[in-house]
Copies of this chain bind each other. A is one copy, B any other.
Protein backbone atom coordinates (compact mmCIF):
# COMPACT_ATOMS: atom_id res chain seq x y z
CA UNK A 1 0.00 0.00 0.00
CA UNK A 2 1.38 3.37 -0.98
CA UNK A 3 1.48 6.11 1.62
CA UNK A 4 1.66 8.86 -1.02
CA UNK A 5 -1.59 10.85 -0.91
CA UNK A 6 -3.64 10.26 -4.04
CA UNK A 7 -5.84 12.96 -5.58
CA UNK A 8 -9.31 12.82 -4.02
CA UNK A 9 -12.52 13.56 -5.92
CA UNK A 10 -13.73 17.10 -5.24
CA UNK A 11 -17.21 18.09 -3.99
CA UNK A 12 -18.26 19.26 -7.47
CA UNK A 13 -17.60 15.79 -8.91
CA UNK A 14 -19.51 14.20 -6.03
CA UNK A 15 -22.50 16.46 -6.60
CA UNK A 16 -22.57 15.23 -10.19
CA UNK A 17 -22.47 11.62 -8.99
CA UNK A 18 -25.41 12.39 -6.72
CA UNK A 19 -27.35 13.87 -9.61
CA UNK A 20 -26.70 10.78 -11.71
CA UNK A 21 -28.09 8.43 -9.08
CA UNK A 22 -30.94 10.72 -8.00
CA UNK A 23 -33.55 9.42 -10.49
CA UNK A 24 -33.25 6.04 -8.74
CA UNK A 25 -32.76 6.97 -5.08
CA UNK A 26 -34.91 8.53 -2.38
CA UNK A 27 -34.12 11.66 -0.42
CA UNK A 28 -34.07 10.41 3.16
CA UNK A 29 -35.26 12.61 6.02
CA UNK A 30 -33.24 14.22 8.77
CA UNK A 31 -35.07 13.57 12.05
CA UNK A 32 -34.49 15.27 15.39
CA UNK A 33 -33.90 12.97 18.35
CA UNK A 34 -35.11 14.89 21.36
CA UNK A 35 -33.82 12.37 23.89
CA UNK A 36 -30.31 12.23 22.40
CA UNK A 37 -30.29 16.03 22.09
CA UNK A 38 -31.11 16.25 25.78
CA UNK A 39 -28.42 13.67 26.59
CA UNK A 40 -25.64 15.69 24.96
CA UNK A 41 -27.15 19.11 25.78
CA UNK A 42 -27.04 19.85 22.07
CA UNK A 43 -28.88 18.96 18.88
CA UNK A 44 -28.90 15.47 17.43
CA UNK A 45 -30.20 14.83 13.93
CA UNK A 46 -30.59 11.35 12.48
CA UNK A 47 -30.18 10.89 8.72
CA UNK A 48 -32.54 7.95 8.18
CA UNK A 49 -30.97 5.97 5.35
CA UNK A 50 -32.97 2.99 6.62
CA UNK A 51 -35.76 4.58 4.57
CA UNK A 52 -33.62 4.42 1.40
CA UNK A 53 -34.79 2.04 -1.32
CA UNK A 54 -33.86 -1.54 -0.23
CA UNK A 55 -33.72 -0.38 3.41
CA UNK A 56 -30.08 0.75 3.42
CA UNK A 57 -27.72 3.38 1.97
CA UNK A 58 -25.84 0.66 0.04
CA UNK A 59 -28.29 0.99 -2.85
CA UNK A 60 -26.73 4.36 -3.68
CA UNK A 61 -23.28 2.95 -4.40
CA UNK A 62 -24.73 -0.08 -6.16
CA UNK A 63 -26.87 1.83 -8.64
CA UNK A 64 -24.08 4.28 -9.38
CA UNK A 65 -21.59 1.45 -9.95
CA UNK A 66 -23.91 -0.26 -12.43
CA UNK A 67 -24.59 3.02 -14.23
CA UNK A 68 -20.85 3.15 -14.99
CA UNK A 69 -20.82 -0.20 -16.81
CA UNK A 70 -20.43 -0.19 -20.58
CA UNK A 71 -23.15 -1.93 -22.61
CA UNK A 72 -20.78 -4.89 -23.09
CA UNK A 73 -20.12 -5.13 -19.36
CA UNK A 74 -23.84 -5.00 -18.68
CA UNK A 75 -24.23 -8.02 -20.94
CA UNK A 76 -21.56 -9.90 -18.98
CA UNK A 77 -23.31 -9.32 -15.67
CA UNK A 78 -21.67 -8.68 -12.29
CA UNK A 79 -20.57 -10.79 -9.33
CA UNK A 80 -20.00 -9.52 -5.81
CA UNK A 81 -19.87 -10.75 -2.23
CA UNK A 82 -21.72 -9.00 0.56
CA UNK A 83 -22.94 -9.68 4.07
CA UNK A 84 -26.35 -8.39 3.05
CA UNK A 85 -27.14 -4.74 2.43
CA UNK A 86 -24.89 -4.30 -0.58
CA UNK A 87 -26.32 -7.59 -1.88
CA UNK A 88 -29.87 -6.32 -1.62
CA UNK A 89 -28.90 -2.95 -3.10
CA UNK A 90 -27.03 -4.52 -6.01
CA UNK A 91 -29.85 -6.97 -6.70
CA UNK A 92 -32.34 -4.09 -6.86
CA UNK A 93 -30.01 -1.99 -9.04
CA UNK A 94 -29.47 -4.95 -11.37
CA UNK A 95 -33.20 -5.44 -11.72
CA UNK A 96 -33.72 -1.77 -12.56
CA UNK A 97 -30.85 -1.56 -15.06
CA UNK A 98 -31.32 -5.06 -16.45
CA UNK A 99 -27.94 -6.41 -15.36
CA UNK A 100 -27.57 -10.02 -14.24
CA UNK A 101 -26.30 -10.14 -10.65
CA UNK A 102 -24.55 -13.04 -8.88
CA UNK A 103 -24.08 -12.63 -5.14
CA UNK A 104 -21.93 -14.54 -2.70
CA UNK A 105 -23.29 -14.15 0.82
CA UNK A 106 -22.10 -15.65 4.11
CA UNK A 107 -24.35 -18.56 5.08
CA UNK A 108 -25.03 -16.84 8.43
CA UNK A 109 -26.24 -13.58 6.84
CA UNK A 110 -29.68 -12.46 8.13
CA UNK A 111 -32.52 -14.37 6.49
CA UNK A 112 -34.34 -11.22 5.39
CA UNK A 113 -31.27 -10.03 3.49
CA UNK A 114 -30.78 -13.35 1.68
CA UNK A 115 -34.50 -13.67 0.90
CA UNK A 116 -34.83 -10.17 -0.50
CA UNK A 117 -31.76 -10.48 -2.73
CA UNK A 118 -33.26 -13.67 -4.18
CA UNK A 119 -36.68 -12.09 -4.54
CA UNK A 120 -35.08 -9.31 -6.60
CA UNK A 121 -33.90 -11.90 -9.08
CA UNK A 122 -30.22 -12.22 -8.11
CA UNK A 123 -28.40 -15.54 -8.26
CA UNK A 124 -27.41 -16.06 -4.61
CA UNK A 125 -24.57 -18.41 -3.62
CA UNK A 126 -24.17 -19.03 0.11
CA UNK A 127 -20.62 -19.31 1.38
CA UNK A 128 -20.24 -21.78 4.27
CA UNK A 129 -16.52 -21.11 4.70
CA UNK A 130 -15.69 -18.70 7.57
CA UNK A 131 -11.87 -18.78 7.56
CA UNK A 132 -9.75 -16.61 7.69
CA UNK A 133 -12.95 -14.53 8.08
CA UNK A 134 -16.45 -14.77 6.60
CA UNK A 135 -15.71 -11.71 4.44
CA UNK A 136 -12.43 -13.02 3.08
CA UNK A 137 -13.83 -16.47 2.34
CA UNK A 138 -16.79 -14.95 0.49
CA UNK A 139 -14.50 -12.61 -1.45
CA UNK A 140 -12.36 -15.55 -2.60
CA UNK A 141 -15.44 -17.48 -3.73
CA UNK A 142 -16.80 -14.47 -5.64
CA UNK A 143 -13.48 -14.15 -7.49
CA UNK A 144 -13.64 -17.82 -8.49
CA UNK A 145 -17.21 -17.47 -9.72
CA UNK A 146 -16.46 -14.31 -11.72
CA UNK A 147 -13.51 -16.09 -13.35
CA UNK A 148 -15.70 -19.04 -14.25
CA UNK A 149 -18.74 -17.20 -15.61
CA UNK A 150 -16.90 -14.26 -17.17
CA UNK A 151 -18.82 -11.62 -15.23
CA UNK A 152 -17.47 -8.33 -13.88
CA UNK A 153 -16.22 -8.67 -10.29
CA UNK A 154 -17.32 -5.84 -8.01
CA UNK A 155 -16.04 -5.13 -4.53
CA UNK A 156 -18.76 -4.18 -2.01
CA UNK A 157 -16.79 -1.31 -0.55
CA UNK A 158 -13.15 -1.20 -1.59
CA UNK A 159 -13.58 0.61 -4.89
CA UNK A 160 -13.12 4.36 -5.57
CA UNK A 161 -16.34 4.37 -7.61
CA UNK A 162 -18.32 2.83 -4.74
CA UNK A 163 -16.92 5.51 -2.43
CA UNK A 164 -18.17 8.14 -4.85
CA UNK A 165 -21.54 6.41 -4.97
CA UNK A 166 -21.89 6.33 -1.18
CA UNK A 167 -20.72 9.94 -0.86
CA UNK A 168 -24.20 10.84 -2.12
CA UNK A 169 -25.41 10.48 1.49
CA UNK A 170 -23.02 13.31 2.34
CA UNK A 171 -24.02 15.46 -0.65
CA UNK A 172 -27.69 15.13 0.21
CA UNK A 173 -27.04 15.76 3.90
CA UNK A 174 -25.01 18.88 3.13
CA UNK A 175 -27.87 20.25 1.01
CA UNK A 176 -30.36 19.56 3.80
CA UNK A 177 -28.16 21.23 6.41
CA UNK A 178 -27.65 24.28 4.21
CA UNK A 179 -31.38 24.57 3.50
CA UNK A 180 -32.13 24.45 7.20
CA UNK A 181 -29.13 26.67 8.03
CA UNK A 182 -27.70 24.09 10.39
CA UNK A 183 -24.00 24.00 11.20
CA UNK A 184 -23.00 20.52 12.30
CA UNK A 185 -19.86 19.96 14.38
CA UNK A 186 -19.76 16.17 14.26
CA UNK A 187 -20.88 13.61 11.71
CA UNK A 188 -21.07 9.99 12.85
CA UNK A 189 -20.85 7.25 10.21
CA UNK A 190 -21.08 3.50 10.88
CA UNK A 191 -18.05 1.67 9.45
CA UNK A 192 -17.89 -1.85 8.04
CA UNK A 193 -15.43 -1.61 5.17
CA UNK A 194 -15.59 2.17 5.32
CA UNK A 195 -17.01 3.36 2.00
CA UNK A 196 -19.66 5.54 3.65
CA UNK A 197 -17.28 7.28 6.03
CA UNK A 198 -14.78 7.76 3.20
CA UNK A 199 -17.43 9.19 0.88
CA UNK A 200 -18.85 11.51 3.54
CA UNK A 201 -15.41 12.70 4.64
CA UNK A 202 -14.78 13.94 1.09
CA UNK A 203 -17.62 16.42 1.62
CA UNK A 204 -17.21 17.20 5.31
CA UNK A 205 -13.43 17.41 5.54
CA UNK A 206 -11.95 19.74 8.17
CA UNK A 207 -10.17 21.82 5.52
CA UNK A 208 -13.43 23.00 3.95
CA UNK A 209 -16.01 22.64 6.74
CA UNK A 210 -16.15 22.89 10.52
CA UNK A 211 -17.37 19.30 10.80
CA UNK A 212 -15.39 16.46 12.33
CA UNK A 213 -16.25 13.09 10.77
CA UNK A 214 -16.18 9.97 12.97
CA UNK A 215 -16.05 6.35 11.84
CA UNK A 216 -18.07 4.26 14.30
CA UNK A 217 -17.31 0.55 14.70
CA UNK A 218 -18.39 -2.27 17.01
CA UNK A 219 -15.91 -3.40 19.67
CA UNK A 220 -13.79 -6.22 18.30
CA UNK A 221 -14.26 -5.19 14.67
CA UNK A 222 -12.71 -1.72 14.89
CA UNK A 223 -10.23 -2.20 12.05
CA UNK A 224 -10.63 1.37 10.85
CA UNK A 225 -10.11 2.81 14.34
CA UNK A 226 -6.99 0.73 14.77
CA UNK A 227 -5.66 1.58 11.31
CA UNK A 228 -6.13 5.29 11.98
CA UNK A 229 -4.27 4.97 15.30
CA UNK A 230 -1.21 3.27 13.80
CA UNK A 231 -1.54 5.05 10.43
CA UNK A 232 -1.41 1.89 8.33
CA UNK A 233 -3.92 -0.74 7.30
CA UNK A 234 -4.51 -2.91 10.33
CA UNK A 235 -6.68 -5.83 11.34
CA UNK A 236 -9.12 -6.14 14.24
CA UNK A 237 -9.27 -9.37 16.28
CA UNK A 238 -12.89 -10.06 15.29
CA UNK A 239 -13.52 -12.43 18.16
CA UNK A 240 -16.44 -10.71 19.94
CA UNK A 241 -20.04 -11.59 19.43
CA UNK A 242 -21.85 -8.71 17.77
CA UNK A 243 -25.32 -8.17 16.34
CA UNK A 244 -23.82 -5.71 13.84
CA UNK A 245 -23.77 -8.20 10.95
CA UNK A 246 -23.07 -5.47 8.38
CA UNK A 247 -19.99 -4.19 10.24
CA UNK A 248 -17.96 -7.36 10.76
CA UNK A 249 -15.17 -6.58 8.27
CA UNK A 250 -11.90 -6.89 10.16
CA UNK A 251 -9.92 -4.46 8.00
CA UNK A 252 -11.11 -1.33 6.24
CA UNK A 253 -10.98 -1.25 2.45
CA UNK A 254 -7.63 0.03 1.16
CA UNK A 255 -9.24 2.69 -0.99
CA UNK A 256 -11.37 3.82 1.96
CA UNK A 257 -8.44 3.98 4.32
CA UNK A 258 -6.46 6.00 1.75
CA UNK A 259 -9.26 8.58 1.83
CA UNK A 260 -9.92 8.78 5.56
CA UNK A 261 -6.27 9.17 6.56
CA UNK A 262 -6.18 12.25 4.32
CA UNK A 263 -9.50 13.69 5.54
CA UNK A 264 -8.67 13.50 9.27
CA UNK A 265 -11.47 11.11 10.19
CA UNK A 266 -11.51 10.03 13.84
CA UNK A 267 -12.62 6.69 15.24
CA UNK A 268 -15.08 5.55 17.90
CA UNK A 269 -15.74 2.02 19.22
CA UNK A 270 -19.17 1.14 20.54
CA UNK A 271 -19.98 -1.73 22.86
CA UNK A 272 -22.87 -4.09 22.21
CA UNK A 273 -24.82 -2.72 25.17
CA UNK A 274 -25.15 0.71 23.54
CA UNK A 275 -25.97 -0.77 20.14
CA UNK A 276 -28.98 -2.48 21.72
CA UNK A 277 -30.05 0.70 23.50
CA UNK A 278 -29.80 2.56 20.20
CA UNK A 279 -32.12 0.07 18.48
CA UNK A 280 -34.58 0.61 21.33
CA UNK A 281 -34.47 4.40 21.19
CA UNK A 282 -34.97 4.34 17.42
CA UNK A 283 -38.07 2.22 17.95
CA UNK A 284 -39.51 4.11 20.90
CA UNK A 285 -38.72 7.69 20.04
CA UNK A 286 -38.04 7.91 16.32
CA UNK A 287 -40.47 5.19 15.14
CA UNK A 288 -37.71 3.79 12.94
CA UNK A 289 -36.89 0.13 12.45
CA UNK A 290 -33.08 0.01 12.56
CA UNK A 291 -30.82 -3.00 12.31
CA UNK A 292 -28.06 -3.05 14.96
CA UNK A 293 -25.42 -1.95 12.42
CA UNK A 294 -27.72 0.87 11.35
CA UNK A 295 -28.18 2.12 14.91
CA UNK A 296 -24.55 2.12 16.03
CA UNK A 297 -23.97 5.86 15.44
CA UNK A 298 -26.80 6.61 17.88
CA UNK A 299 -25.15 4.18 20.29
CA UNK A 300 -21.91 6.18 20.05
CA UNK A 301 -23.70 9.25 21.41
CA UNK A 302 -25.10 7.20 24.29
CA UNK A 303 -21.66 5.78 25.13
CA UNK A 304 -19.73 9.05 24.81
CA UNK A 305 -22.17 11.90 25.55
CA UNK A 306 -19.52 14.12 27.15
CA UNK A 307 -17.46 14.12 23.97
CA UNK A 308 -20.30 15.77 22.04
CA UNK A 309 -21.61 18.07 24.77
CA UNK A 310 -23.30 21.18 23.40
CA UNK A 311 -22.71 20.20 19.78
CA UNK A 312 -24.94 19.80 16.76
CA UNK A 313 -24.38 16.23 15.65
CA UNK A 314 -25.64 14.21 12.69
CA UNK A 315 -25.78 10.43 13.16
CA UNK A 316 -26.31 8.37 10.03
CA UNK A 317 -28.77 5.51 10.54
CA UNK A 318 -27.54 3.32 7.70
CA UNK A 319 -30.07 0.50 7.48
CA UNK A 320 -33.16 -1.27 8.75
CA UNK A 321 -32.86 -4.80 7.39
CA UNK A 322 -33.24 -6.79 10.57
CA UNK A 323 -34.89 -10.18 11.05
CA UNK A 324 -38.06 -9.89 13.10
CA UNK A 325 -36.91 -12.45 15.68
CA UNK A 326 -33.75 -10.45 16.43
CA UNK A 327 -35.60 -7.12 16.41
CA UNK A 328 -38.16 -8.51 18.85
CA UNK A 329 -35.40 -9.78 21.12
CA UNK A 330 -33.49 -6.49 21.11
CA UNK A 331 -36.50 -4.22 21.60
CA UNK A 332 -37.68 -6.26 24.58
CA UNK A 333 -34.25 -6.61 26.20
Q: Which residues of A contact B (CB under 8 A)?
A: 26-29, 31-32, 48, 50-51, 53, 55, 112, 283-290, 320-321, 324-325, 327-328, 331-332
Contacts and interface: CB of A to CB of B under 8 A. Distances in A.
Contact of A289 (B31, B288, B321, B328): B288
Given A287-B288, A287-B289, A328-B328, 13 more contacts: A26-B31, A28-B29, A31-B51, A32-B53, A112-B284, A283-B324, A284-B324, A287-B290, A288-B288, A288-B289, A325-B332, A327-B331, A328-B331
- Which of A27, A290, A331 has the most chain B CB within a 10 Å cutoff? A331
Copies held by the complex: 2
Contact of A32 (B26, B32, B48): B26
Nearest to A30: B26
A234 B289 CA distance: 39
Nearest to A112: B284
Contacts of A332: 324-325, 328
A26 B32 CA distance: 9
24 contacts: A26-B29, A26-B31, A26-B32, A29-B51, A31-B51, A32-B53, A50-B287, A51-B286, A51-B287, A51-B288, A283-B289, A283-B324, A283-B327, A284-B324, A287-B288, A287-B289, A288-B288, A288-B289, A289-B289, A324-B332, A325-B332, A328-B328, A328-B331, A328-B332
A199 B285 CA distance: 27
A289 to B, nearest CB: 4
Contacts of A286: 51
Nearest to A331: B324
Nearest to A54: B34
A68 B48 CA distance: 33
A51 B284 CA distance: 11
A280 to B, nearest CB: 8
Contacts of A320: 287
The 4 closest A-B pairs by CB, nearest first: A287-B320, A287-B289, A50-B287, A29-B29
A118 to B, nearest CB: 15
A327 B324 CA distance: 11
Contact of A55 (B53, B112, B287, B290): B287
A289 B279 CA distance: 12
Contacts of A288: 51, 287-289
A70 to B, nearest CB: 28
Contacts of A290: 287
Contacts of A51: 29, 31, 48, 286-288
